[in-house]
Copies of this chain bind each other. A is one copy, B any other.
């Protein structure tokens, strides 16, 4: 790094916040799955929006690109430098203030570096609820989950991270600051700019703070593990439960028998919730106001009807929070119980999930006899984590990807439901998106970042 550039950065953020020593930078130059590595000039840690703006202006003058980084828990390499040009990593972690909590407005203002669990807790302290919840919540940051429009386990009821945002503050590519920190449920005064920056993975500007929506905190939940014959039964069950119980259906997770077996083999304390084996399962959760007993009995009535009609083979309703936690532990152990295989994060219309599974299984059986696939995911969102093994197949990843992605494309689906494009799917997406849509994205990129300094080599 040029000493003058370093001095200029230090003048903005303080010398201690320009990291150049390898021991300090190493963790910032690699993603957490260690799939991507790239060296940048340094890691800069601003403490305020003004400091971010000054750093961006300086980088603009020097022609240095900027890689914004939050908790660095992304799965697509979107926060890792590419090494293809002069870059700095801009780490937002010091901007971790919750600026305001307003329970009467059901909103709070958080800076980009706030860790998700801290935001959840701030909402809880105010008697409210922030519904975004995902595995990395103890280390991922607000700026990161907004920039990747993170999903998680509550999307069915509350929507993606995008749907939890009322306003944003963004440092633009020229270092100017757009103060869009409005807390308005309704505002029809022109183009909705916030949605442009949310999910853009830092390629159009740097989100430095956000106004987040809070919700009423449900007072009770009821959980069941349900055995089914086919994925089609799962989709029909979801429609029936929502028709009967309404929007309180807050989770609806599909699990194949093979996933359950992997968990039973992997986790010592795990138990099969239903004595007899069945080909497919669904983990259902209801959340609502009222008592645990009343919610449990509503779920029981609904499921008994389904069993009577033959739409469900069997069901185990959790009799306590402890039992509910054990059911969730099975679902949450699936990723670690079947690690060495080719993973996908895809989505289709909810009604097309059965067809997707049917087509992928048929194509896999043809190309890779004896293949073992692990199918699970947020079927209520049409989102499957479709993992294909065993390990030997990892070497043939492109062929396996091709089968899954072609089936997804044939059904009008998405090759990245939750995890974004980053570096991982930047090339692949050009095979799937209408060229016109890519052109539209490029023209927005040119309009907002004409010099291409915002997180280059990601998304587009």
Contact = CB atoms under 8 A, between A and B. Distances in A.
A200 B420 CA distance: 26
Interface in A145-160: 148-149, 151, 155-156, 159-160
Given A105-B351, A350-B104, A447-B446, A441 B193 contact: yes
A452 interface: no
Nearest to A232: B104
Interface in A356-407: 378, 380-383
Contact of A444 (B191, B236, B238, B434): B191
Given A104-B239, A196-B196, A188 B414 contact: yes
A412 interface: yes
B196 A192 contact: yes
A437 B188 contact: no
Contacts of A199: 188, 190-192
A102 B238 CA distance: 13
Contact of A188 (B107, B180, B419): B419
A424 to B, nearest CB: 11
Interface in A319-364: 347-352
**Central interface residue in A351, A352, A433, A440, by most chain B CB within 10 Å:** A440
A255 interface: no
Given A348-B184, A414-B184, A433 B189 contact: yes
A349 B186 contact: no
A139 interface: no
B441 A184 contact: no
Contact of A195 (B105, B183, B195, B236): B195
A156 B440 CA distance: 33
A441 B193 CA distance: 8
A60 interface: no
Given A192-B162, A195-B192, A195-B196, A185 B381 contact: yes
Interface in A204-218: 204, 215-218
Nearest to A415: B189
A199 B195 CA distance: 12
A182 interface: yes
Contact of A421 (B127, B156, B190, B347): B190
A198 interface: yes
Interface in A74-111: 102-107
Nearest to A287: B246
Given A190-B421, A217-B243, A350 B195 contact: no
Q: What band does the interface of chain A fall in when counting residues whose beta carbon is under 8 Å from B?
A: 35 or more
Identical copies of this chain, number: 2
A251 to B, nearest CB: 13
Interface string A284-307: 000011000000000000000000
A105 B236 CA distance: 10
B434 A382 contact: no
A106 to B, nearest CB: 7
A185 B236 contact: no
Contact of A244 (B156, B289, B432): B289
Interface in A404-460: 412-421, 425, 429, 432-434, 436-438, 440-441, 443-444, 446-448, 459-460
A35 interface: no
A187 interface: yes
A133 interface: no
Contact of A184 (B148, B156, B204, B349): B349
Contact of A417 (B103, B188, B200, B383): B188
Contacts of A381: 185-186
A421 to B, nearest CB: 6
Interface of A: 102-107, 127, 148-149, 151, 155-156, 159-160, 162-163, 172, 176-180, 182-193, 195-196, 198-200, 204, 215-219, 235-236, 238-239, 242-248, 288-289, 347-352, 378, 380-383, 412-421, 425, 429, 432-434, 436-438, 440-441, 443-444, 446-448, 459-460
Given A186-B418, A189-B432, A246-B289, 10 more contacts: A149-B192, A151-B188, A182-B412, A185-B350, A187-B414, A188-B417, A189-B429, A189-B433, A190-B460, A193-B441
